Amino acid sequence: MTKTTMVKTQTGDIPTDIPRQNPCAQCGTPIARPDWIEPGEGRVSYLWTCHACNYRFEAVAIFDQMPIAHPPLAA
């Protein structure tokens, strides 16, 4: 069973640092690093495997190419 979690970042480029200590989606145990990293168009998929409960899940990081997509409201 896999579960996809959406993670949104403010970074415009593919990050050089990968997420670490991501809590397991099932038991909450921090996972040091993803098992698999799959770069895509404006996004990167991370496959995590929890060694405490053997739960596997995917986290997708979306990278904003347009930082002015949501301008702040002006009074």
The residues binding Zn ion (CB under 5 A) are 24, 26-27, 29, 50, 52-53, 55
Which residue type is seen at 45?
S
Residue 55 or 61: the one with the smaller Cβ distance to Zn ion is: 55
Residue 3 or 8: the one with the smaller Cβ distance to Zn ion is: 3
Find where tokens 């996809």 sit. Answer: 4
Instruction: Kindly state the smallest distance separating residue 53's Cβ from Zn ion, in Å.
Output: 3
Give me the count of residues in the chain: 75
Question: Measured between alpha carbons, how far is residue 39 from residues 17, 28, 64 in Å?
Answer: 13, 25, 14
Residue 7 or 27: the one with the smaller Cβ distance to Zn ion is: 27
